[in-house]
Amino acid sequence: MVTVTINGLDVSVEEGMTILEAARFIGFPIPTLCYHEGLSPYGACRLCVVEIGEAPRSRLVSSCTYPVEEGLKIRTASKRVVQARRMIIELLLASCPQSKTIQDLASAYGVRTQRFKQEYEDCILCGLCVRMCSEQMMAKAIGFRGRGTERSVGTPFDIQSDVCRLCGACMHICPACQLRCTYNEPEKAICNACANLRPPCLEKEQYDDMMCYMDPCVACEIK
Amino acid sequence: MNPEHIEKIIADHEGRQGAIISILEDIQDLYHYLPEEALRMVARKTGQSLVDIYGVATFYKAFSLKPRGRHLISVCMGTACHVRSAPGIVDEFTQQLGLRPGETTEDSEFTLETVNCLGTCALGPIVVADGTYFSNVKRTDVKKIIHKARTGAAGARSGRDERLFPVDVLCPLCGRTLTDAHHQIENNSSIALDVSFDGKKGWIRLSSLYGSTCRESEHEMPPDVLVSLSCPGCGRNFPEKLNCIECGAPMVPLEFQGGGVLYVCARSGCMSRRISLDVPVLRAETASARQA
Amino acid sequence: MEQLTSFGMFKALQERIVSESCPEIPTIVVPAGTCGQASGALELIRAAHHHILKNNLQARIRIRATGCHGFCQAEPSVYVEPFDTFYPKVDPARMKDIIQAALEGRTVEDLLYVDDAGGERIERLQDIPFYRHQKRTLLSQNERIDPLEISDYLKIGGYTAFAGLLADNDPARIIEDVKRSGLRGRGGAGFLTGAKWEFLARQADGKGKIIVCNADEGDPGAYMDRSLLEGNPHSILEGMLTGALATGADQGVLYVRTEYPLAIRHLNNALRQARELGLLGKNILGTGFHFDISLVKGAGAFVCGEETALMRSIEGKMGEPRQRPPFPVQKGIENKPTLINNVETWANVPVIFRMGVEEYAATGGGEETGTKIFSLVGKIKNTGLVEVPMGTPIKDIVFNIGGGQSGKGGVKAVQTGGPSGGCIPAELFDLPIGYGSLAKVGSIMGSGGMIVMDENTCMVDVARYFMNFLKGESCGKCFPCRKGTQRMYELLDDIAAGRGTPGHLDLLEELALVLKDVAMCGLGQTASNPVLSTLKYFRDEYLEHIENKRCPAGVCKALIHFSINENCTGCGACVKVCPEKAIKGERKQQHVIDAGLCSRCGSCKGVCAFDAIEVR
């Protein structure tokens, strides 16, 4: 066990835990987007940043990747942390306003407007689907392509991957857009799983046998 | 695409660190882009998943998944070039070729691209056309560069170029001249040698022009064998000295009249040359001559 | 050359090489690095070879192709040993005169360097202002060796320091000495090299340890590493050998960016030669010490200069950074402990031991020791590579060595540290160069790019340029970096296009400060520096763009227009170059520009010999 100070509270936590795990275990909430208990930590959305150390040398680190250390001083909701999270949420809202997850975050942090050029993207590149596909489904059907502003998630060459088992787990875990079933726009689908379900879910008498994680499902709404 | 080539490239890098990137670089060198089938083959042969290989191929700027043109024009967009008006140079190329950076002309002649920094900042703006550097480029130079690229940028490869002078060399073993006035290459006497490889023996004639790598030979040589070169006069094999800078294969020395050595790489696919005019023995002689 | 299996053999070979060199024979030295070759150095060598062969001068004169000497402005140049004569901008047709003069111990008067200030001809290299004010500890080796010949490096005492340390076999002592020398990493943050080595040395031996030379010099406007890789590859190998001996590493990796083909050729050749001689590989000099180095080419990604991204790239993956800890020295390439230093750091290591730790530590000002190479480029008269002791004031570099501005406008700022750095205004030019001092004013040392900006450089445009660079080079993994750089670019683009509002500035600053705090890796954390430093020192330029819709430097196209004043002689030079055919006028009459057609490309201003094109 190691002893750390979280928001002024001295607590003993298990060695090897991350700050995020320790804080949540004790009961301090930390928002996350790219984190999932069943997947390896990724540290990309930066929403989970916390302040460690003491001023003036304190700094922000992503709590999902940082292991607890003996004597570490952690603040999960300092002014600096909240300010950073609010800016990240503003950036998220500017890119992906339709996501319920992001809308909830914005309301929790009191972010009411965003000041950038509005974009409507389907994906925030949190990588949950990519890790889901490779770590839990052992498929590696989808992955990241390109870099910088050109980065995207998809299959090699944008054609249906022959290792995709159409399991739909990628859609299930996506935080940006719960309405990701793209049966009607197959070219926009990540893995084309929904478009390639045989028979397609729109033929509803077959529906009971299908694996569908969509809630609500666009196809179901249409019917 | 030839599957054998890809297989050979993969075999060359087997078990090495960062092999995927090196493999893709070699494929790109060969085809000037990464064909889909090649990437699928790399995935199959190396046992890595296609998604990872595709990720690498799209992450790094050196790779292209689209076929590129015969001539590649790169405009440097480093800071030093930027403050010296490189964006205007790109505009001019865009106008003249009708291409935006990253695109290829319909006739597959030209590909235009911008690069971040070539590290020749003092000479900016810099344009590289098919490996030839153009420094301090102005908008008005763009037409000339395109023309030079179209006609073979180096431009100094023809026998008429006065700067390319012929050299006379001797056998380092017997001292006989190797110049063959009867067999002309590039309108000049050639250098006569004998060559043997894979059990075959025959003649080979090298261009005597400075810097040229032209050659003619009795038997066609496979691209990647080490050949033995020998003197047609005394018949002895030349000693192997020095290693080739390009490929690491041994090089054989041919002597200049009056001192100095022309080294020739003994690998059939390379046969590049290197001139060294320092000859230790001669150096010592002159030192004593000067003292006297 | 045969394999060396003992110190005795190494010494004997070195002595033989020194005794066989005849320093009294004049040598024509031609710098033929990438810059040199781009300016025509190979033509000079060809002309020299032609003249020597035609006149059978092989025994009386020598010719040496070397790496870059630093004075890029003067390329293609020739330097003659032992007379120390320097000829800038040489025409190949004049090579025969230079050779003839060298044979007779003369100089060719009309080819000598002419100093703009004094107007007189300067014969000796060391008297030229550009060189006189430098301390060229590393770079001066470049003119003395042919980088393709290991014997040249041995001749100037190369590998001696390493061989001595290998004989002593006291790793702890080496680390102590590197710490005492005060050497800091030359790649960016300036971490103490000796301390870094100590971390690696302390790691358990089990899996093997790796040391890496980071030669992914991605900063646009910086090329000192290229000149060392091309001009003196063996010094880097010797540095890495010393590091391996000190830390117990058994494997070395040179990670070189693919944009440097000549450097890659020279390094591959150097590795081959060192292996043949038994200075790399198994059982080095018969001592039982094993170490070998492999070369890995980068494939064009700026972010791979970041340590954790570089390691992933070496493993053959996408170059995405990851959060530290674990640090590379705990868990690096293939989970082995890994130490990464950049090219210039490794090249400094043999210098420390050849020069002596005390003398090295005495170079420089205060706590920061040794020399640092800068690439001085942009709107400066003498562009090139400049090596000065730490603590040299910026103004000495810009004015004494660089000779001041190249154009008509005065020097306004220097930008250091590449896209991660910042702009330092002319008022602060008394600042002594150092890691700490640069960080204090909002920039960084970085790898050593120093880009001079004058009155005709728009600081909004500079910030916009760097942000455009960074948004393309951000790996895209970390959300605030990917989106933050894109959004900052959009805001700057708005300002440059005249769409800026005061709200733009507030949002820009707010976003820049947050990004500095939350980004995952060094690229994102420093990406705000170009914005924050220009906002700090040149806020009035931003305000001019926003409030008065004016670009004071005359750069931002949407805010300027071109006109022709009464200086115009009607020569018609501008008419010929105008791509839009926007300039009209009778011959020998003042011309006019049709603002509707004008694309503000600046071609006319470039060709006008009479200062008649006005930009407002």
Q: Which of A46-50, B28-32, C98-102, C577-581 has the lowest mean pLDDT?
A: C577-581
Three-class secondary structure assignment of B112-149: EEEECCCCCHHHCCCEEECCEEECCCCHHHHHHHHHHH
DSSP C300: S
User: Which among A62, A83, A95 has the least Cβ separation from residue C520?
Assistant: A62
CATH of the domain at C522: 1.20.1440.230
Residue ending a domain, choose from C338, C357, C376: C357
- Locate CATH 3.10.20.740 in chain A: 2-77
The CATH number given to whatever domain includes residue C589 is 3.30.70.20
Residue C332 and residue C300 share a domain: yes
Phi and psi based region of residue B183 (left: phi greater than 0; alpha: psi -120 to 50; beta: remaining): beta
Shortest Cα–Cα distance, B38 to chain A (Å): 13
- Cβ distance B279 to C60 under 8 Å? no
Q: Does A157 touch chain B (CB under 8 A)?
A: yes
| Burial label, B187 (beta-carbon count in 10 A; 0-12, 13-18, 19+) | exposed
For residue C488, give the chain A residue with the closest CA. Answer: A116
Q: What is the location of CATH 3.30.70 in chain A?
A: 128-222
C91: CATH: 3.40.30.10
Q: Which residues of chain C lie closer than 8 angstroms to A95, CB-CB? A: 483
Q: Considering the domain boundaries, does residue C143 fall inside one?
A: no
Side chain identity, residue A108: A
Task: Say whether pLDDT at C278 is over 90.
Answer: yes
Q: What is the mean pLDDT of chain A?
A: 82
Query: Where is pLDDT greater, at B137 or C447?
Result: B137
Of C471, C476, C487, the CB nearest to A91: C487
Give the CA distances from residue B289 to residues B284, B285, C54, C105, C126, in Å, rounded to whole numbers and listed in that order.
9, 6, 21, 17, 31
pLDDT score recorded for residue C21: 83
Answer whether residue A191 shows pLDDT above 50.
Answer: no
Pair (C571, C512) in one structural domain? no
Put simply, the answer to whether C484 touches A49 (Cβ < 8 Å) is no
| Confidence label for C155 from pLDDT (cuts 50, 70 and 90) | very high
Q: Which of C398, C426, C454 is the last residue of a domain?
A: C454
Which chains does chain C touch, 3 or more C-beta pairs < 8 A? A, B
Chains touching chain B, criterion 3+ CB pairs below 8 Å: A, C
- Confidence class of residue A52 from pLDDT cuts 50, 70 and 90? very high
Closest approach of chain A CAs to the CA of B47, in angstroms? 13
What topology is assigned to A128-222 in CATH? Alpha-Beta Plaits (3.30.70)
Q: Exposure of C90 by Cβ count < 10 A (0-12 exposed, 13-18 middle, 19+ buried)?
A: buried
Q: How far is CA A85 from CA A60, C102, C107, C413, in A?
A: 11, 70, 69, 35
- Any chain C CB within 8 A of the CB of A97? no
How far apart are alpha carbons C576 and C147 in whole angstroms? 46
Whether residues C447 and C316 fall in one domain: no
> Is C211 within 8 Å of chain B by CB?
no
Residues C407 and C276 in one domain: no
Do residue A148 and residue C471 have CB atoms under 8 angstroms apart? yes
Q: Minimal Cα–Cα distance from A84 to chain C, Å?
A: 5
C-alpha span between C616 and C125 (Å, rounded): 43
B279-289 pLDDT, tens digit each: 544 333 333 43
Interface confidence, given as ipTM, is 0.89
Q: What is the dihedral of CA C386, C390, C393, C395, to 10 degrees?
A: 10
Interface check for A148 against chain C (CB to CB < 8 A): the answer is yes
- Residue C389 is given by DSSP the state E
Residue-range domains of chain B with CATH: 3-59 (no CATH), 72-150 (3.40.30.10), 170-280 (no CATH)
Q: Could you report how far apart the first and last alpha carbons of chain C are, in Å?
A: 67
Average pLDDT score over residue span C71-95: 93
Q: What is the CA radius of gyration of chain C?
A: 26
C515 versus B156: which is more confidently predicted?
Answer: C515
**Pairing outcome for strands C251-256 and C289-297:** parallel
Q: For residue C474, give how far its alpha carbon lies from the nearest alpha carbon of chain A (Å).
A: 5
Cα distance from B56 to chain A (closest Cα, Å)? 8
Residue type, A125: L
Q: Are C441 and C410 in contact (CB under 8 A)?
A: no
Chain A contact set for C482 (CB, 8 A): 125, 148-149, 151
Which residues 543-582 on chain C approach chain B with CB closer than 8 angstroms? 577, 579
Residues on chain C touching A117 (C-beta within 8 angstroms): 490
Question: Looking at residue B228, what is its pLDDT?
Answer: 93
Q: Are residues C205 and C282 in the same domain?
A: yes
- Supply the CATH classification number for the domain A2-77: 3.10.20.740
Are residues C85 and C209 located together in one domain of the fold? no
- pLDDT, tens digit, 9 for 90 and up, residues C586-610: 988 999 999 889 988 888 887 888 9
Give C195-240 pLDDT, tens digit per residue: 999 999 999 878 899 999 999 988 888 889 999 999 999 999 999 9
pLDDT at C187: 80
Task: Compute the nearest-CA separation of C323 from chain A (Å).
Answer: 7
Length of chain A: 223
Contact status, residue C478 vs residue A62, Cβ threshold 8 Å: no
State whether C496 and C578 are in the same domain.
no
User: Cα–Cα distance between A130 and A153 in angstroms, integer?
Assistant: 8
Predicted confidence (pLDDT) at residue C264 exceeds the cutoff of 90? yes
Q: Looking at residues C541-552, what average pLDDT do you find?
A: 95
Asked if C479 lies within 8 A of A80 by C-beta distance, the reply is no
The helix-helix angle for A100-108 and A79-95 (nearest 10°) equals 150
CB of B127 closer than 8 Å to CB of B134: yes
Asked if residue C512 and residue C493 are part of one domain, the reply reads yes
Residues of C in contact with B290 (CB under 8 A): 24
- Please say which residue of C328, C357, C386 terminates a domain: C357
Q: How many residues does chain C have?
A: 616
Quote the minimal CA–CA distance from B236 to chain C in Å.
Answer: 22
Residues A18-40 pLDDT 10s: 999 999 999 999 999 999 999 99
Q: Do C518 and A94 count as a contact with CB atoms less than 8 A apart? A: no
B221 CB burial (10 A radius; 0-12, 13-18, 19+): buried
Both C352 and C379 in one domain: the answer is no
Name the residue with tokens 């400094």: C348
Q: Give percent of chain C above pLDDT 70.
A: 100
Q: Which residues pair with C212 in a beta bridge?
A: C253, C340
C14 belongs to a structural domain? no
Do C323 and A61 count as a contact with CB atoms less than 8 A apart? yes
Q: Residue C265: its chain B contacts at CB < 8 A?
A: 245-246
Residues C339 and C377 in one domain: no
A44 touches chain C (CB under 8 A): yes
Q: Check CB contact of A127 with chain C, cutoff 8 Å.
A: yes
Contact A146 B59 (CB under 8 A): yes
| Residues of chain B numbered 183-202 and touching chain C (CB < 8 Å) | none
Which ranges in C377-458 belong to alpha helices (H)?
A: 394-395, 435-440
pLDDT for position C269: 93
A134 contacts in chain B (CB < 8 Å): 49
Q: Is residue B37 within 8 angstroms of chain A, CB to CB?
A: no
Of residues C80, C473, C495, the one with CA closest to residue C305? C473
Q: How far apart are the first and last CA of chain B?
A: 67
At B160-187, the pLDDT tens digits run: 455 678 889 999 888 889 999 999 888 8
Start-to-end CA span in chain A (Å): 55
Kindly determine whether residue B116 and residue C37, on different chains, have CB atoms separated by under 8 Å. Answer: no
Distance from the C413 Cα atom to the nearest Cα atom in chain B, whole angstroms: 13
**Is residue C294 located within the same domain as residue C341?**
yes
Give ∠ CA B162-B166-B170 in degrees, rounded to 5: 165
For residue C309, give its domain range.
Answer: 150-357
The 10 Å Cβ neighbour count of residue C561 is: 13
Q: Is residue C286 within 8 Å of residue C274, measured between CB atoms? A: no
C507 CB neighbours in chain A (<8 A) are: 115-116
Return d(Cα C64, Cα C82) in angstroms, integer: 13
CA distance C240 to C197: 11
C259 touches chain B (CB under 8 A): yes
Same domain, yes or no, for C414 and C390?
A: yes
Give the largest CA-CA distance in chain B: 74
Q: How many domains does chain C have?
A: 5
Is residue C307 domain-resident? Answer: yes
CB–CB of A140 and B59 under 8 A? Answer: no
Helix locations, C21-61, DSSP H: 34-39, 41-54
What does DSSP assign to residue C379?
S
Contacts of B133 (CB under 8 A, 6+ apart): B118, B120, B123, B126, B127, C34, C37, C38
Q: What's the CA gap between B182 and B193, in Å, rounded? A: 14
| B120 near C CB under 8 A | yes
Rounded (to 5) percent helix, strand, coil in chain B: 30, 25, 45
Cβ distance A176 to A212 under 8 Å?
A: no
A90 to chain C, closest Cα gap in Å: 10
Residue A173 pLDDT? 84
